[in-house]
Amino acid sequence: MPEPLPETAAICLGEAMIMLAGGPGPLEDVETFRRSVGGAECNVAGGLAALGVPTGWISRLGDDGFGQHVLRDLQARGVDVGGVELDPVRPTALYVKESEDGRSRMHYYRAGSAAAAMDPGFLERPEVSERLKQAKLVHTTGITAAISTTSAEMLERLATEPREFLLSVDLNWRPALWRDRDPEPLWRLLKAADIVLIGADEAEVFAGTGDPDELYERLETPVLVVKDDAHRAMVLEPGGRTEVPALTVDVVETVGAGDAFAAGFLAATLQGLPMTQRLRLGHLNAAAVLTAPEDHAPPPAREVRERLLSCTDEEWAATKIGAA
């Protein structure tokens, strides 16, 4: 008999990459790199699992050492990877982080990757379709819509076919990936979603406006989450607007903070918490990543989370998060 599927309340569908971080200085001078796992959807999957949400990550990886490392890393973080398909020909994608003069620059090597070969038929694999059927929430991003035409078609099918789960989409606008391509498939994906997460700065570039009310009207999504960097985050929904200021944070690295916010907000959504607490958990999770050099980090301890989720607005505003 086949093994029973693990319980999964959330499924994250999208690309994973190996991240190679060098020491300070230009790439041509760096001799040693530190390896870790990155990618928006797998960052969110790990973040959800760390918050106690049974989570699976579905994608394609190269049948290579980097792909095996991604699987081991996510499994160690409590994420189900039984829906992952290994490709014997196409490689696992990677990106290199170059740090110079206190700034980070990313160099991506993802063309022709195993993840880019995802297509609508990928959803029909029993390992994938059965997991999607039992999920309460499925999360993806505009990056997966951008890495190939076939992956965009896959997400359109996911969004338009009858479904029982909530569909969450983080814009994650990457202009370089959409160069010479019409972003209309991404607009359709966002409008079909039940929850849309979007940064005010990226919305300015993508939609020509960062105004939350205008975005809400144009996207027509039931729940719109607008993140305004280090200032605030807000939710617009039929019942009105909820806004929570960001915490004061000793920032080490910003990469991955948006994914961590998404994980916190979606975990609190699945737990049925009030909207203010959903935004607070998003901020708390993001703050943990902002104080770490990697793309992901453990969330604040449970007792810290519980205290700050229920504190007064004045106590929240006075809270500062450091690396310790």
- Centre a 10 Å sphere on the Cβ of residue 30 and count the other Cβ atoms it contains: 17
Q: Which residue has 């790199």 as its token pair?
A: 33
Domains in the chain, please, with CATH? 9-14+39-62+115-321 (3.40.1190.20)
Determine how β-strand 55-58 pairs with β-strand 103-109: unpaired
pLDDT at 4: 64
DSSP H/E element including 24: strand 17-24
With beta carbons less than 8 A apart as the criterion, state whether 117 and 92 touch: no
- Centre a 10 Å sphere on the Cβ of residue 176 and count the other Cβ atoms it contains: 7
**Contacting residues for 114 by C-beta, under 8 A, at least 6 apart:** 60, 61, 62, 67, 85, 86, 87, 90, 91, 92, 93
Indicate the residue type of 22. G
With beta carbons less than 8 A apart as the criterion, state whether 295 and 319 touch: no
The helix/strand/coil state of 205 is helix
Sign of CA pseudo-dihedral 270, 46, 151, 148: positive
Distances (CA, A) of 234 to 40, 49, 200, 265: 21, 24, 10, 11
CA angle 162, 71, 122 (to 5 degrees): 30
Residue of 73, 170, 259, 295 marked catalytic: 259
Distance of CA 122 to the CA centre of its chain: 20
pLDDT block averages, 10 residues each, the chain of length 324: 70 96 89 92 96 97 98 97 97 91 84 96 97 97 96 97 96 92 95 97 93 94 90 94 92 82 97 96 92 80 93 93 75
With beta carbons less than 8 A apart as the criterion, state whether 213 and 224 touch: no
Query: 63 catalytic, yes or no?
Result: no
